[in-house]
Chains A and B, each alone.
Chain A
Amino acid sequence: MTQVLATNGSPHPPRKWALATAELIIDDTALYGDRYVAAQQLKLKIAEILATHHALNQIDERTLIAKDPTIILDGYHFNRLDDAVRDVIQATRLTEWHDHFEQAAVIGVVTEIIGKHFATAQKIERLWFAETHPDSLLAKTYKSQAIEGII
């Protein structure tokens, strides 16, 4: 299922992103009873951990844009991704799902989920910059490319 994140007046806050990311990492749709409760607890624990990483991701992007706005035309950066994935896998220790999250394929999916959300959050920071600098040629270029899916 798709999720919809809607935030009035600003980009999505890190905590909202963290819950959305954790929702995809912990699939509890087929669980019930104690296992469902345990999965909910793990989901909230992962969201708590990811809130910090999402905040750092957004701060990094805002700092980079403030320093050099032309970076909005560059690719996305993932220098915080490994730390975030490591902390999520660490959070599954002492849970019944630890062996599952130790599998390379599962780590790959977790990496893809967090990386995609980091990239989307960076894109939103860039869009927000473009919206708040409507007369800037750079911002206009970025918006047109973003709408057409080029970046």
Chain B
Amino acid sequence: MPSTALCTQFKADLLNGAHCFGATMTPTISSTSSTSVTAVSSMSGIAVGMSVSGNASIPANTVVARITSSTALTLSNATTGTITAAACTFAGDVFRMALIKVAPSGTWDATATNYGSGSGAPTTSNLGTDEVASGGGYTTGGLALTNVSAVTSGVTGYVTFSPDPSWSSATFSTVAAMIYNASTVGRLGGVVNRAVSIHDFSGTQSVSAGVLTIVMPAAAAATAIIRLS
């Protein structure tokens, strides 16, 4: 049976800078056909590695390469035209929630390291056929979660996601979920689809032609879904 746990490999990955839980930010920026960006209206919540988009002059797959001052940064790709005080989108990594089927063959707990390829035999590095199959309102890979920037309370730092993930027109059963980092940024060589945590549902949860929602715990120091204290 699955067990609720923060994945052990995730803890090491976190210390190695493999994850960015930052919420989407939309400061205004300026740039003139270069990797240099100036006049960033607010650097709050911006981190190296965040994806940058939202303007036709920003090439696909551009990320923040360096933060050079409180109002300037360097991009991984040069802008292809002039940007003048335009709002752009800076986004953290994409975290997804995948659902685990009833009677999985694997033991899903802190030992999980990866979501894996979306198919194949289940191992600690591949959810594989232990994931709820596509169909009935569910698609393998699960749903993307919406990041909320990390905050602190007392001696605890924590993150949450909002709103809660929901599947509609859903007809399936599940016993647990895996949150994993589906970002294509690739902060560490060879690290993709890393597992973050496993969440046991205390038994089989079934839905038929309806809605299934995973209600996350309150975003507070003692309860938040991912917290370090």
Contact partner of A2 (CB less than 8 A), chosen from B146, B207, B216, is: B216
Q: Give the contact stretch, choosing among B8-16, B64-72, B159-167.
A: B159-167
Alpha-carbon distance between A8 and B171 when the two chains are bound, in angstroms:
9
Q: Write out, one digit per residue, whether chain A residues 111-130 have a CB within 8 A of any chain B CB (1) or not (0).
A: 01100110110111001101
In the complex, the answer to whether B214 meets A2 with C-beta atoms within 8 Å is yes
**Would you call A1 an interface residue if the criterion is a C-beta within 8 Å of the partner chain's C-beta atoms?**
yes
Classify chain A's interface size: 35 or more
In the complex, the answer to whether B144 meets A149 with C-beta atoms within 8 Å is yes
Given the known interface contacts A119-B162, A120-B164, A149-B94, the answer about A109 and B219 at a Cβ–Cβ threshold of 8 Å is yes
Given the known interface contacts A12-B213, A128-B168, the answer about A7 and B207 at a Cβ–Cβ threshold of 8 Å is yes
Alpha-carbon distance between A22 and B54 when the two chains are bound, in angstroms:
39
Q: Which of B139, B220, B225 has the most CB of A within 10 A?
A: B220
A-B pair count, CB < 8 Å, reads 108
| Interface residue count on the B side (C-beta < 8 Å) | 38
Q: Which of B205, B215, B222 has the most CB of A within 10 A?
A: B215
**Would you call B199 an interface residue if the criterion is a C-beta within 8 Å of the partner chain's C-beta atoms?**
yes
In the complex, the answer to whether B218 meets A109 with C-beta atoms within 8 Å is yes
CB distance from A133 to the nearest CB of B (A): 12
In the complex, the answer to whether B163 meets A1 with C-beta atoms within 8 Å is no
CB distance from B88 to the nearest CB of A (A): 15
Find chain B residues with CB under 8 A from A137 CB.
none
Alpha-carbon distance between A146 and B163 when the two chains are bound, in angstroms:
11
DSSP majority for the B interface?
strand
Residue of B nearest to A105 (CB): B153
Find chain B residues with CB under 8 A from A109 CB.
218-220
In the complex, the answer to whether A116 meets B164 with C-beta atoms within 8 Å is yes
**Would you call A94 an interface residue if the criterion is a C-beta within 8 Å of the partner chain's C-beta atoms?**
no
Given the known interface contacts A5-B212, A9-B209, A11-B211, the answer about A24 and B217 at a Cβ–Cβ threshold of 8 Å is yes
In the complex, the answer to whether A10 meets B211 with C-beta atoms within 8 Å is yes
Find chain A residues with CB under 8 A from B96 CB.
149
**Would you call A104 an interface residue if the criterion is a C-beta within 8 Å of the partner chain's C-beta atoms?**
no
In the complex, the answer to whether A131 meets B168 with C-beta atoms within 8 Å is yes
Q: In chain A between 1 and 28, which residues have their CB closer than 8 angstroms to a CB of chain B? A: 1-12, 20, 24-25, 27
Given the known interface contacts A27-B223, A116-B162, the answer about A4 and B212 at a Cβ–Cβ threshold of 8 Å is yes
In the complex, the answer to whether B213 meets A124 with C-beta atoms within 8 Å is yes
20 A-B contact pairs sorted by A residue (CB < 8 Å): A2-B4, A2-B199, A3-B214, A5-B211, A5-B212, A5-B213, A6-B207, A6-B213, A8-B208, A9-B210, A10-B211, A25-B218, A113-B218, A116-B216, A120-B213, A122-B163, A123-B166, A130-B168, A146-B143, A147-B139
Extra inter-chain contacts (4) besides given A27-B218, A27-B222, CB under 8 Å: A5-B212, A6-B205, A119-B162, A119-B163
Residues of B within 8 A of A (CB): 4, 94, 96, 139, 143-146, 153, 162-164, 166, 168-169, 177, 199, 201-202, 205-220, 222-223, 225
3 nearest A-B residue pairs (beta carbon): A149-B144, A120-B163, A127-B168
